[in-house]
Structure 1
Amino acid sequence: MKTTPNHLRQYVLLSFSLIALTFNSCKEKAKQEEQTQPDAFAAADEIIESIKVLEFPDRTFNIIDFGAVADGTTLNSEAIKTAIDSCSGLGGGKVIIPEGDFLTGPIVLKSNVNLHLEEGANVLFSTNHDDYLPVVHTSYEAVELMNYSPLIRAYKQNNIAVTGKGVLNGQASNTNWWPWCGKDSYGWIEGAPKQHDSINLPRLRDMNDKQTPVSERVFGKGYHLRPTFFEPFECENVLLEGVTITNAPFWVIHPLKCNYVRIDGVTVSSHGPNNDGCDPEYTKNVHITNCTFDTGDDCIAIKAGRNNDGRRVNIPSENIVIENCYMKDGHGGVVLGSEISAGVRNVFARNCKMDSPNLDRAVRIKTNTLRGGFVENLYVKDIQVGQVKEALLKINLHYAIYANQEGQFMPKVSNIHLENINVENSGKYGILIKGREEDMVIKNVSLTNVHIKNAKTPLSVEFSEPVIFENTTINGKQY
């Protein structure tokens, strides 16, 4: 058939119509997919909403009325215990610690009690280790055991709080608790006992490997494993708000096997060994907000059990939201691991500031084939990073401090998303990822609108699926 100009014009018009129709159809499909695809941080908002605002009966119990003396030397353990017991026995309320210096042994919280530190209250925890006996069911480096009591403890309680503008001072120092770590920078001297002696950590490691019943893992006096500071254990509806915590023996805030936890406006300023700021473990539905972390170890480190203990308990830590926080000194800002054998999922961090010459990394995932575990669904967005030493993001599946950290439990990492992040000085690396040679177990890592400056090595990625970049620059170069 002969093609006339009119035929050609009609053909072109028809072609453009088909193209437009196809384009509009694709555009509408994309729009529909966009509308149906869930917003990750909408899930974070739902988690926050699920953590209810705690309420307590309108009753107050001032520890002064129970014999407490604010002289910094009188031991007030019994007065505080009696006030809490009286409050709990009447159905709950608020136990007041007023302005002044109050020396005490460990504090045990009970259901429906809000321990409230008024402005100027300074709670000084005893330096006499015998005050933390008898041993209780607790945890050390994510392994359950019977050990010294945490400084503030709650076991199987509901609706509990520590609030106010006062200070909780663990009084740990280079002459109390810290030397047991075995480092001369924390007061240890050659020949003195330390946690790595064969009767201490190696014994606990062996009990973990053999899965000795927890009731038979008895430590405490004569051993050298330091207690945690604030440890609600198997509790529900927990609030820690407003207080300042300093000079911790070991991990600072350690919700263990808990559900519905809010940590709001807390300042952790503690530079001792293993002084992680906040370590949710086997815990779900956690909101960490408006906090400042200035620590001797990780600022926030999400845990899930170590080795066989984690696999025995098998409770992932999940549904954790971190926002409006300031991370200063520390080994990492937001960290997942290294004790992570039961796995971690659904972690959201947004609107945070991280900045210090003594902050090693902003975001970190660490495990190995002895600990195993998984990390899935980590979302980090709207973060301002001033200065870090090593990297904005570090994922290390060869993590090891001690020898013999290789096993048969391949870790898996997937769905790690960083968005809207500016880094002024990223130190040694922009992004540092070290996967496993045996398998590509690091999957779906993405950076969107991330801009990193002053990284000596922009990118080091080994044994991982390729990182997905969108509108991302490192040292001014588009990736």
Structure 2
Amino acid sequence: MRSAAATRALTAVLGAALAMSVFTPPAAAAPPSGQAPSEPHGWELADQIRNEVKPPTIPQRPFDITDYGADPTGEQDSTDAIAEAIDAASAKGGGKVVIPPGEFHTGAIHLESNIELHVSDGATVRFSQDPADYLPAVKTRWEGVELYNYSPFVYADGVRDVAITGGGTLDGQADDEHWWPWKEQPDGNGGVIETEHRDRLFQWGEDGVPVEQRRLEDSKLRPNFVQFYDSENILVKDVTLTNSPMWMIHPVLSENVTIDGVTLDSPDGPNSDGVDPESSKNVVIKNSHFDNGDDCIAIKSGRNEDGRRIGVPSENIVIHDNTMADGHGGVTIGSEMSGDVYNVFAEDNVMDSEHLDRALRIKTNSVRGGTVEQVYFRNNRIPQVGGEVIRINFQYEEGDAGEHTPTVRDVQIENVHSTGGSFGLYLRGYERSPISDVTVRDSTFSDVETPMELEHVRNLHLDNVDINDRHYDEVIDAGPLS
């Protein structure tokens, strides 16, 4: 049953809508800041990004890890053998490090430039459940803040031309006894171990502690599964990742990234986002399947002061022809977005699960700050969704408790069709910074509990939109909730 607050909000919205004139199509979106008017923008820019993002060029000379002592029965540890194969390939100028059919046990795998890690059909790589196997610590980002922590399971830092390919499986072996309990493990003082370490890290970021000094003894911050740090020309293709300790594929400060045909399967793990491009540029995510315990795709650019210190946005992200099942959001921006996000394109995706909380989500607050603009979302089918179809919210976590007012503008939604959910449109900005210039065109939102909840929204254009069989051709400005 619709709440009284939601009913009041809907009544206010409809009253404002009826007072407006007939819909007039908005002017074409302005090109991003600093971009010449003659340069492509909108979907023309998406096509350009797709054309320009190319897979790396890597020598295809093979280096079979079993030739270096790897054990295909999984009874013996193969960490050193995999590292030796990578080193041998690198010494020859690069190559294809082949994991043949079989079961292999390993600790951290560190990739080098001009290396393709090929996980063959029938191969399963099982990663150690012992945190000691991910030491020494490496430079990484954890929820948007830099530190030295456990190595991600597959890690590359400062490399060029690198790939993970093949039809095999990378199994993180995270479960209710390994890695995941850190999210809830008591610290003996009434708190949780990971929260204690997380809070300390975030305070280091706020205080500007030098990154080299950000090290936690006996860290309880779960590592990412695959992370590319400050790297370029990256391909992840056809592999399956499962049972992740935390975020699954995490390009950071990286450029020219392709994720293609990957299966990301970790619906039971906390914070097990599928793909999280962070402060990265020119990224294409396509033909992949997501089933996650958190966001399927989450675009980020650093958290709070640390994100502002680095000051590198995520931009030029194209997401197409993926399927998304469980998750907190299908395509999400934030909450770590203090370095800004520009030019996000999502089309021809299918989002289909009653356990998918939102289809498109932007989450921020005045502690995060940052600007999000030029977000394009079209031709996406949403047969099922659990919560809001479109959710943009400035009240995430801390709410309006900081001095860094966020900006979200120029969001274009076209030919999107959904069934179910709690809200069709849930847009809540600030009075001093309304969510602005959102266009929804040629779309239907069926069987939602509440059509819209709007707070501090300016220039919401509804053009040929049906919500629960009611037709809208209107421009809406919304103030505070009643």
TM-score by length of 1: 0.88
Q: Aligned match of 1:410 in 405, 414, 417?
A: 405
Q: Secondary structure at the match of 2:386?
A: coil
The answer on 1:424 being equivalent to 2:419 is yes
Contact 2:156 2:229 in 1 (8 A): yes
**Higher mean C-alpha displacement, 447-456 vs 403-412:** 403-412
**Higher mean C-alpha displacement, 38-47 vs 308-317:** 38-47
Q: Aligned match of 1:377 in 374, 396, 399?
A: 374
Give the superposed CA RMSD. 1.8
Distance 2:428 2:219 in 1: 36
Question: Where does residue 469 of structure 2 map in the other structure?
Answer: 476
Distance 2:40 2:82 in 1: 48
> How far apart are 1:183 and its partner, in Å?
7.0
Distance 1:446 1:118 in 2: 45
Q: Secondary structure at the match of 1:345?
A: strand
Question: Where does residue 254 of structure 2 map in the other structure?
Answer: 258
2:453 is matched by which residue type in structure 1?
Answer: S
2:260 is matched by which residue type in structure 1?
Answer: D
1:295 is matched by which residue type in structure 2?
Answer: N
Q: 1:460 to 1:192 in 2, by over 3 A?
A: closer
Contact 1:440 1:465 in 2 (8 A): no
2:380 is matched by which residue type in structure 1?
Answer: I
Per-residue CA deviations over 1:100-132 (Å, capped at 9, x if unaligned) read: 110000100011110001101000000111010
Distance 1:398 1:295 in 2: 24
Question: Where does residue 20 of structure 2 map in the other structure?
Answer: none
Question: Where does residue 249 of structure 1 map in the other structure?
Answer: 245
Question: Where does residue 436 of structure 1 map in the other structure?
Answer: 430
Question: Where does residue 86 of structure 1 map in the other structure?
Answer: 88
Q: Aligned match of 1:392 in 372, 389, 393?
A: 389
Question: Where does residue 198 of structure 2 map in the other structure?
Answer: 201
Contact 2:55 2:234 in 1 (8 A): no
Question: Where does residue 15 of structure 2 map in the other structure?
Answer: none
> How far apart are 1:440 and its partner, in Å?
3.6
Q: Which has the larger radius of gyration?
A: 1
1:163-242 pair list within 5 angstroms:
163-182=165-184, 194-197=193-196, 200-219=197-216, 221-242=217-238
Gapped regions of structure 2 (runs ≥ 5): 1-27, 29-37, 473-482
Contact 2:423 2:452 in 1 (8 A): yes
> How far apart are 1:236 and its partner, in Å?
0.5
> How far apart are 1:441 and its partner, in Å?
3.1
The answer on 1:461 being equivalent to 2:454 is yes
Per-residue CA deviations over 1:384-426 (Å, capped at 9, x if unaligned) read: 00111111100001101xx57610000000100000111122x
Gapped regions of structure 1 (runs ≥ 5): 1-29, 31-35
TM-score by length of 2: 0.88
> How far apart are 1:37 and its partner, in Å?
10
Per-residue CA deviations over 1:414-464 (Å, capped at 9, x if unaligned) read: 100000111122x11110011113x14311001000101011110111011
Q: 1:260 to 1:38 in 2, by over 3 A?
A: closer
Question: Where does residue 7 of structure 1 map in the other structure?
Answer: none
Question: Where does residue 293 of structure 1 map in the other structure?
Answer: 290
- Which has the bigger relative contact order, CA under 8 A and spacing at least 6? 2
Contact 2:159 2:232 in 1 (8 A): yes
Question: Where does residue 21 of structure 2 map in the other structure?
Answer: none
- What number of residue pairs does the alignment pair up? 435
> How far apart are 1:181 and its partner, in Å?
0.5
Q: Aligned match of 1:448 in 441, 448, 472?
A: 441
> How far apart are 1:205 and its partner, in Å?
1.4
Q: Secondary structure at the match of 2:449?
A: strand
Question: Where does residue 145 of structure 1 map in the other structure?
Answer: 147
Contact 1:102 1:122 in 2 (8 A): yes
Distance 1:183 1:358 in 2: 26
Distance 1:298 1:159 in 2: 28
> How far apart are 1:192 and its partner, in Å?
9.0
